[in-house]
Protein backbone atom coordinates (compact mmCIF):
# COMPACT_ATOMS: atom_id res chain seq x y z
CA UNK A 1 0.00 0.00 0.00
CA UNK A 2 2.82 2.41 0.81
CA UNK A 3 4.40 1.80 -2.59
CA UNK A 4 1.13 2.72 -4.29
CA UNK A 5 0.84 5.93 -2.28
CA UNK A 6 4.42 6.85 -3.18
CA UNK A 7 3.81 6.14 -6.85
CA UNK A 8 0.68 8.31 -6.79
CA UNK A 9 2.63 11.17 -5.19
CA UNK A 10 5.36 10.92 -7.83
CA UNK A 11 2.82 10.83 -10.66
CA UNK A 12 0.97 13.83 -9.21
CA UNK A 13 4.24 15.78 -8.94
CA UNK A 14 5.14 14.90 -12.52
CA UNK A 15 1.77 15.95 -13.87
CA UNK A 16 1.84 19.19 -11.88
CA UNK A 17 5.33 20.02 -13.14
CA UNK A 18 4.24 19.27 -16.70
CA UNK A 19 1.25 21.59 -16.37
CA UNK A 20 3.30 24.37 -14.77
CA UNK A 21 5.99 24.23 -17.45
CA UNK A 22 3.74 23.97 -20.49
CA UNK A 23 4.08 27.05 -22.74
CA UNK A 24 6.82 28.66 -20.62
CA UNK A 25 10.33 29.71 -21.58
CA UNK A 26 13.21 27.25 -21.38
CA UNK A 27 14.55 28.98 -18.26
CA UNK A 28 11.20 28.66 -16.49
CA UNK A 29 10.88 25.00 -17.52
CA UNK A 30 14.31 24.22 -16.07
CA UNK A 31 13.36 25.96 -12.82
CA UNK A 32 10.06 24.09 -12.51
CA UNK A 33 11.56 20.70 -13.32
CA UNK A 34 14.58 21.29 -11.07
CA UNK A 35 12.44 22.15 -8.07
CA UNK A 36 10.11 19.25 -8.82
CA UNK A 37 13.02 16.84 -9.06
CA UNK A 38 14.65 18.07 -5.86
CA UNK A 39 11.61 18.23 -3.63
CA UNK A 40 8.76 15.80 -4.23
CA UNK A 41 10.37 13.31 -6.58
CA UNK A 42 13.70 12.85 -4.77
CA UNK A 43 12.14 12.58 -1.32
CA UNK A 44 9.44 10.15 -2.34
CA UNK A 45 11.82 8.06 -4.45
CA UNK A 46 14.28 7.73 -1.56
CA UNK A 47 11.39 6.75 0.71
CA UNK A 48 10.28 4.11 -1.80
CA UNK A 49 13.80 2.69 -2.05
CA UNK A 50 13.95 2.50 1.75
CA UNK A 51 10.73 0.47 1.76
CA UNK A 52 12.14 -2.19 -0.56
CA UNK A 53 13.30 -5.44 1.03
CA UNK A 54 17.01 -5.49 1.90
CA UNK A 55 17.19 -1.72 1.38
CA UNK A 56 19.57 -1.36 4.33
CA UNK A 57 22.23 -3.23 2.38
CA UNK A 58 21.46 -1.44 -0.90
CA UNK A 59 23.32 1.76 -0.05
CA UNK A 60 26.18 0.00 1.69
CA UNK A 61 26.83 -2.32 -1.24
CA UNK A 62 26.70 0.61 -3.67
CA UNK A 63 29.22 2.60 -1.62
CA UNK A 64 31.47 -0.43 -1.28
CA UNK A 65 31.35 -1.08 -5.02
CA UNK A 66 32.16 2.56 -5.78
CA UNK A 67 35.07 2.55 -3.34
CA UNK A 68 36.53 -0.55 -4.97
CA UNK A 69 36.29 0.85 -8.48
CA UNK A 70 37.19 4.52 -7.95
CA UNK A 71 39.85 4.88 -5.30
CA UNK A 72 41.17 2.01 -3.26
CA UNK A 73 43.28 4.24 -1.02
CA UNK A 74 40.53 5.68 1.16
CA UNK A 75 40.85 3.95 4.53
CA UNK A 76 38.12 6.07 6.16
CA UNK A 77 35.55 5.00 3.58
CA UNK A 78 36.67 1.40 3.67
CA UNK A 79 36.42 1.19 7.45
CA UNK A 80 32.91 2.71 7.41
CA UNK A 81 31.47 0.22 4.95
CA UNK A 82 33.54 -2.76 6.01
CA UNK A 83 35.52 -3.22 2.80
CA UNK A 84 38.94 -4.74 3.28
Taking the domains of the chain in order of start, what are their residue ranges? Answer: 1-52, 54-84
CB 2 within 8 A of CB 9: no
Most confident region among 12-16, 48-52, 79-83 by mean pLDDT:
12-16
- Kindly report the CA angle at 40 between 66 and 22, in degrees rounded to 5? 115
56: helix, coil or strand?
A: helix
Contact indicator for 30, 17 with CB cutoff of 8 Å: no
Q: Tell me the pTM.
A: 0.56
Give the tens place of pLDDT for each residue, 16-70. 999 999 999 999 999 999 999 898 888 888 888 777 766 555 555 555 555 555 5
Amino acid sequence: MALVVGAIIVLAALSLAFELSRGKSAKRKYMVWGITTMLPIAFVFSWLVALLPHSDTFAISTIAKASRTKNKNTPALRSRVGVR
